[in-house]
Structure 1
Amino acid sequence: MTESINPPDDGELEPIRIPDPQLEGIEASVRRLMEQSAQQAQQLDHLSSAPEPPGSPFAAFGMPGLGRPLSAPPPEPRPILELDGEELEDELDALSDWVDDFFLPVYGAEVTTAAPWCLEWQDHDDVVAWLHALWLAYQQHRDPEAGLSGLFVWHRDFLTHAVAAIRAPGGPLSACMTSPDRPAHRLLAGPPPSVRTEAASKRAADEPAEPDEPTS
């Protein structure tokens, strides 16, 4: 049972004295808190001035992105034939630069009847679509993220098939230039629409137009 402290007769309270062992414990706790705060401040300063993390250790194994935080995905490319207006013109200009500056000087075999070409290939929609897809694949596979075998995959899986389709003897450019001395350009007519589509178009044309609603 605790003892009550009776005030002296003059009404003034005597100061309460904390025993020395307790006082030393409080001082030690305060010192520890101050030391911990100083250590945390040093850690924050070190983190703010730390250099960027090094490259992925898996890059040498063809996995350069492994171990790094995921970055925001790039915007998805659109097929060039789905573009129009200024967007189409800008994309076609960029594609033409790649074809004239890189593709033809490196992979443009001699023009013959077995490998025709056209100086106005931009007018051939199918050729534009093929070359644009080939260009997009080239950009993807030359990126370091594709690894050391990226360009080999591009040659094997994309370039070979695209060139074979574009410059085939019976391909889209077969009526164009078959000799460097005889430039030519002609668009080959494609097959007509199917019978079902033609019939639907005819029915739509034969249906009478709905009368305009009277206005009050």
Structure 2
Amino acid sequence: MGSEGAGAGFGDAEVDGWSAGHALGLVALGAEEGEGEVQSLDLTGPAFPFGPVLAGEEYEDELDGLGDWVDDFLLPVYGAEVTTAAPWCPRWQEHDGVVAWLHALRLACQQHKDPEAGLAGMFVWHRDFLTHAMAAVRAPGGPLSACMTSPDRPTHRLLPGPPASARTQENSSAQAEGPAAEPEPDDASGPVS
């Protein structure tokens, strides 16, 4: 286990043949039927450097499998009660962050239930993955906080994310204005050291 090669970036790190991109690469939006362009969340750029992205039918197939795992295993066993302290959303598949967390949780479950993980494999999954992921997904201020907080009141609302950083906004506006003119050298100032 470990990263392949010295100096490998986080997106290049592999554990048992799985890169971080595999764990989080599910988060993408497939193209609408009949459209020639795939609309996807860019998980390969500087904002989210985690490798390959699934799109279209491949994404839908993976999301269907994840939905089955969540509905048939995760929620019946670990779902607990829906409250303001532990919200849920019947349309969780529309929350990209939730999909990423649950997909990574499912991959970790598959890895830790493998006989090669040893007898304590599922204990490790519970301790290191399940508890943390469910706490993050179902936190009162988490990605589902504007959704269902009572089974009697099913609600769904996607919360807007924070705005881009000031640096990103400055870079975007500078690129929109075009290349900056180079300052002319000032002969009176003398040599620069």
Q: Please report the TM-score for the alignment, with normalisation by the length of structure 2.
A: 0.67
Give the deviation of 1:196 after TM superposition: 1.1
Partners of 1:141 and 1:104 lie apart in 2 by 19
Matched AA of 1:134:
L
Matched AA of 2:88:
W
Give the deviation of 1:181 after TM superposition: 0.5
Partners of 2:18 and 2:143 lie apart in 1 by 31
**From 163, 180, 185, the counterpart of 1:192:** 163
Matched, 1:165 2:136: yes
Partners of 2:65 and 2:171 lie apart in 1 by 40
Give the deviation of 1:74 after TM superposition: 6.0
Counterpart of 2:160 in 1: which secondary structure?
coil
Match of 2:152 in 1: 181
Matched, 1:123 2:94: yes
Match of 1:135 in 2: 106
Partners of 2:115 and 2:105 lie apart in 1 by 18
Partners of 1:107 and 1:207 lie apart in 2 by 53
Give the deviation of 1:206 after TM superposition: 1.8
Matched AA of 1:116:
P
Give the deviation of 1:149 after TM superposition: 0.6
After the TM superposition, list the runs of 4 or more consecutive aligned residues in structure 1 that deviate by more than 3 angstroms.
73-77
Matched, 1:153 2:147: no
Partners of 1:74 and 1:187 lie apart in 2 by 34
Query: What runs of 5+ residues in structure 2 fail to find an aligned partner?
Result: 1-15, 28-52, 180-193
Cα distance per residue 1:36-71 (max 9 Å; x no partner): xxxxxxxxxxxxxxxxxxxxxxxxxxxxxxxxxxxx
Give the deviation of 1:83 after TM superposition: 1.7
Give the deviation of 1:205 after TM superposition: 1.5
Cα distance per residue 1:122-145 (max 9 Å; x no partner): 111111010000000000000111
Counterpart of 1:98 in 2: which secondary structure?
helix
* % identity of equivalent residues: 72
Match of 2:84 in 1: 113
Partners of 2:142 and 2:100 lie apart in 1 by 14
Partners of 1:75 and 1:119 lie apart in 2 by 29
**From 131, 134, 144, the counterpart of 2:115:** 144
Match of 1:202 in 2: 173
**Pairs aligned (count):** 136
Specify which structure has the higher proportion of helix: 1
